[in-house]
Amino acid sequence: MSRIGNKSIKVPSVIKVELTSENLKISAGSQRLRLELPPEITVEHDTTEGIIRVTRKNNERQSRALHGTIRALIANMITGVTQGYQKDLAVYGTGYGVKQEGNDLLVSAGMAQPTKVAIPVGITIDIKTPNTRGNDVPALFSVKGADKQTVGQLAAEIRRVRPPEPYKGKGVRYADEIIKRKVGKAFASGG
């Protein structure tokens, strides 16, 4: 029995829900998200109580696996259109930085040319500090959006441009990420 899947989802009054047998659309203001529903799962929207219930049609392994997953995805959609999601990133290293140019984010991280990362529709980049100052003051920016998966995927793609290295900690990292540092080579005296 899925404990997560059996929980009903509270729908705030500001959210508009459109439900068909194959799709679920949730919108609030300018934010709109869509989820394709698998045939093993049934979603019911009770407008009088303001809740969404997720049930499965049978007790097969695939249905049990999807039950809690679909419920969690719907709950994430509701949170996304009302509050949104945010991933904070930091760039460490002398001369490193970020800059937004149209629908691209330019990441300068020790390469000859800045690396372009395409920004998907519905995602905004909030740059707090565009350039690093020495090795101690990082360039700070945030990835914001309504879709949790897209926000996390874009943050991971930006981090992949130059992952933090363990000796000096230079590179792109999540703001709350702790880098396990290594000690460099120790030279013995030539005596």
Instruction: Give pLDDT tens digits for 115-131.
Output: 999 999 999 999 999 99
pLDDT-based confidence at residue 186 (cuts at 50, 70, 90) = confident
Cβ within 8 Å of residue 1, ≥6 positions away: none
Residues 154 and 97 in one domain: yes
Residues 94 and 170 in one domain: yes
pLDDT-based confidence at residue 151 (cuts at 50, 70, 90) = very high
pLDDT at 1 over 60: no
Within 10 angstroms of residue 166's Cβ, the number of other Cβ atoms is: 13
Residues 10 and 60 in one domain: yes
pLDDT value of position 136? 83
Residues 89 and 169 in one domain: yes
The two three-digit tokens of residue 143, written as one number: 């990835």
- Residue 123: which CATH number? 3.90.930.12
Cβ within 8 Å of residue 136, ≥6 positions away: none
pLDDT-based confidence at residue 190 (cuts at 50, 70, 90) = low
pLDDT value of position 133? 87
Do residues 132 and 92 make contact, with C-beta atoms less than 8 angstroms apart? yes
What's the total number of domains in the chain?
A: 2
Do residues 35 and 73 make contact, with C-beta atoms less than 8 angstroms apart? yes
Helix (H) or strand (E) holding 128: strand 123-129
Residues 107 and 129 in one domain: yes
Residues 99 and 169 in one domain: yes
pLDDT value of position 161? 95
Place of tokens 């998200």: 33
Q: Is 187 inside a domain boundary?
A: no
State which residues form the domain around 93. Answer: 85-174
The predicted model gives 166-183 an average pLDDT of 92
pLDDT value of position 56? 92
Any idea which of 43-52, 64-73, 169-178, 179-188 has the lowest mean pLDDT? 179-188
Residues 13 and 90 in one domain: no
Q: Is 190 inside a domain boundary?
A: no
Residues 65 and 117 in one domain: no
Written as one string, the DSSP assignment of 60-114 is -HHHHHHHHHHHHHHHHHHHHHHT-EEEEEEEESTT-EEEEETTEEEEESSSSSP
**Which of 88, 86, 89, 68 has its CA nearest to residue 146?**
86
Q: Which of 52, 82, 112 delimits the end of a domain?
A: 82
Rg (Cα) of the chain, in Å, rounded?
A: 22
> What pTM does this model have?
0.88
∠ at Cα 149 (71, 66), nearest 5°? 30
Residues 104 and 157 in one domain: yes
Residues 70 and 117 in one domain: no
pLDDT value of position 4? 86
pLDDT-based confidence at residue 113 (cuts at 50, 70, 90) = very high
pLDDT at 156 over 90: yes
21-79 pLDDT, tens digit each: 899 999 998 899 999 999 999 999 999 999 999 999 999 999 999 999 999 999 999 99
Residues 75 and 96 in one domain: no
